[in-house]
Copies of this chain bind each other. A is one copy, B any other.
Amino acid sequence: MIKTTPRILSGFMELLPSRQVAFNRIKEIIKTTYESFGYSPLDTPAMELSEVLLAKAGGETEKQIYRFTKGDTDISMRFDLTVPLARFVSMHQGELTFPFKRYQIGKVYRGERAQKGRYREFYQCDIDVIGSETLDISYDAEVLAIIYRVFSRLGLSRFKIKLNNRRILKGFFASLKLEDKVTEVLRIIDKLDKIGIDNVKAELQKLSVAEDAVDKILLFVSQKGENDEQLSFLRSLGIDDENFNFGVEELEKVLDLTSFYGVPKENVSISLNIARGLDYYTGTVYETELTDIPEAGSVCSGGRYDDLTGFYSDKKMPGVGVSIGLTRLFSQLLDKGMIKPCACVNAVVAVLPVSESEKESVLSFAELLRRNKINAVSFTEDKKFKAKMNYANKIGVPFAAIIGESEAKSNSVVIKNMQSGEQNTLSVAEAVDFLGAENKELLSESPLCEIAG
């Protein structure tokens, strides 16, 4: 028979088991953190009617869409989780309770030009709270607290959540009489980290922004300091603009409220140079930088928007939320050596018979472990004992439980530490206790390690 060469589409991520275990642990931590704040799960289809999905899209986004027809139906793969959220909330307004808190973790599709670290299928982990007509500013603090909690629970401490408010930017530009160029100016400033100060200057001048305005803008967006200093700086500008003052007030409120969520000051930093996207965000904006991977840019971004559902509904629905692009983040953590080596399975022990006669004892002991909530893998191929140890070693479990003739008779088991090689004979009950404790420790361990700073 002619064989087909097995391969996958380029630009798609597929992981071998030990990496998949690490990936899933990260995904699980994000999920359980989102749930701990009482957000509802949502799971929209990966395909949508093109007419509905692309009501708002255009330009670059539209070119990247995986779009096709099946029968008479024009179908597109979702390219983010925000448009499906807007569609869902508009469809089910009457059936949802507001503020509607939802998270969604799922794959999205973008046919981008293939390049390292960019994927055409990738996980987004989104969390948003949507109000009906209004939404209290305290939710902006909650979303920031969620970002903080996710990255701490991933075992990281060296990260900064950058915070700004679009109203401040809007008011500031109005004070420079640049209100008709806000969108273009923000787009240029958004690229500051990427293209550097000189290129930003040049681009602003191309927009015919006056030289002294350019200087003021650059002074503004390069402003650094403690949050208190940043707030003082903003007030010292003496800008008398409604948006500006309202934005500064909101920024201060969000910072104040995060302390009740237990967010340490050192992980949050007012950054006047972040703008996020263009016409979508209207208030608070967030970016998250991992100190160990500055080149990754923001690994968790989002903000406050006034009108989620404008393309589908007349009702005003403001919201605030963030998104983590997990697939890309994982690949960056991998590159930096920040993913700890994991076993190929979520189990603490492999249970092995010395010979065929102990097979049944092995099955019974493994079952006893599972009843005690200890994940256990048993090996019952009729192979030489060396092959069995080799199996335990290769799948990377921390312990092997070995049952030979004498253990089977005496209701005991040899527990071998696969790393140190140390081994001890324990009664079955002792072994359950010992492995139970080890199992608990294994499960509470973060899959990440930081680079010594």
The residue in chain B whose Cβ has the minimal distance to the Cβ of A13 is: B45
CB distance from A162 to the nearest CB of B (A): 22
- Which residues of chain B are within 8 angstroms of A260 by Cβ–Cβ distance? 360, 363-364, 367
A48-64 toward B: CB 8 Å interface, digit per residue (1/0)?
Answer: 11011001000000000
- Which residues of chain B are within 8 angstroms of A134 by Cβ–Cβ distance? 381
Closest 9 CB pairs of A and B: A38-B377, A68-B68, A17-B40, A260-B363, A38-B347, A4-B55, A138-B380, A97-B394, A6-B312
User: How far apart are the CA atoms of A271 and B398 in the complex, in Å?
Assistant: 41
Partner of A8, one of B49, B131, B346: B49
Asked if residues A40 and B66 are in contact (CB atoms below 8 Å), the reply is: no
Asked if residues A14 and B121 are in contact (CB atoms below 8 Å), the reply is: no
Say yes or no: is A116 at the interface (Cβ < 8 Å to chain B): no
A8-36 toward B: CB 8 Å interface, digit per residue (1/0)?
Answer: 11001111110011011000000000011
Given contacts A9-B75, A111-B70, contact A121 B47 (CB under 8 A): yes
- Which residues of chain B are within 8 angstroms of A95 by Cβ–Cβ distance? 16
Asked if residues A377 and B9 are in contact (CB atoms below 8 Å), the reply is: no
Asked if residues B68 and A41 are in contact (CB atoms below 8 Å), the reply is: no
Say yes or no: is A92 at the interface (Cβ < 8 Å to chain B): yes
- Which residues of chain B are within 8 angstroms of A44 by Cβ–Cβ distance? 8, 14
Say yes or no: is A1 at the interface (Cβ < 8 Å to chain B): yes
Given contacts A4-B312, A14-B45, A40-B17, contact A257 B345 (CB under 8 A): no
- Which residues of chain B are within 8 angstroms of A101 by Cβ–Cβ distance? 345, 377
Given contacts A17-B102, A66-B68, A97-B391, contact A36 B370 (CB under 8 A): yes
Say yes or no: is A136 at the interface (Cβ < 8 Å to chain B): yes
- Which residues of chain B are within 8 angstroms of A257 by Cβ–Cβ distance? 360, 363
Asked if residues A262 and B367 are in contact (CB atoms below 8 Å), the reply is: yes
User: How far apart are the CA atoms of A41 and B13 in the complex, in Å?
Assistant: 14
Would you mind naming 12 contact pairs between A and B with Cβ atoms under 8 Å apart? A4-B312, A6-B86, A8-B45, A9-B73, A14-B43, A14-B45, A14-B88, A17-B96, A39-B345, A138-B363, A260-B364, A261-B363
- Which residues of chain B are within 8 angstroms of A46 by Cβ–Cβ distance? 46, 107, 121
Say yes or no: is A311 at the interface (Cβ < 8 Å to chain B): yes
- Which residues of chain B are within 8 angstroms of A312 by Cβ–Cβ distance? 3-6
Known: A8-B48, A12-B45, A16-B95. 12 other contacts (CB 8 A): A3-B312, A4-B312, A6-B86, A7-B52, A8-B45, A9-B73, A14-B43, A17-B42, A38-B345, A38-B378, A47-B121, A131-B381
Number of copies: 2
User: How far apart are the CA atoms of A373 and B7 in the complex, in Å?
Assistant: 43
Say yes or no: is A314 at the interface (Cβ < 8 Å to chain B): yes
- Which residues of chain B are within 8 angstroms of A261 by Cβ–Cβ distance? 363, 367
User: How far apart are the CA atoms of A257 and B371 in the complex, in Å?
Assistant: 17
Say yes or no: is A344 at the interface (Cβ < 8 Å to chain B): yes
CB distance from A68 to the nearest CB of B (A): 3
Asked if residues A381 and B135 are in contact (CB atoms below 8 Å), the reply is: yes
Asked if residues B45 and A359 are in contact (CB atoms below 8 Å), the reply is: no
User: How far apart are the CA atoms of A370 and B376 in the complex, in Å?
Assistant: 30
User: How far apart are the CA atoms of A327 and B311 in the complex, in Å?
Assistant: 30
Given contacts A48-B8, A313-B6, contact A24 B38 (CB under 8 A): no
Say yes or no: is A166 at the interface (Cβ < 8 Å to chain B): no
Asked if residues A66 and B70 are in contact (CB atoms below 8 Å), the reply is: yes
Say yes or no: is A90 at the interface (Cβ < 8 Å to chain B): yes
Asked if residues A38 and B375 are in contact (CB atoms below 8 Å), the reply is: yes
User: How far apart are the CA atoms of A375 and B31 in the complex, in Å?
Assistant: 12
- Which residues of chain B are within 8 angstroms of A71 by Cβ–Cβ distance? 111
- Which residues of chain B are within 8 angstroms of A433 by Cβ–Cβ distance? none
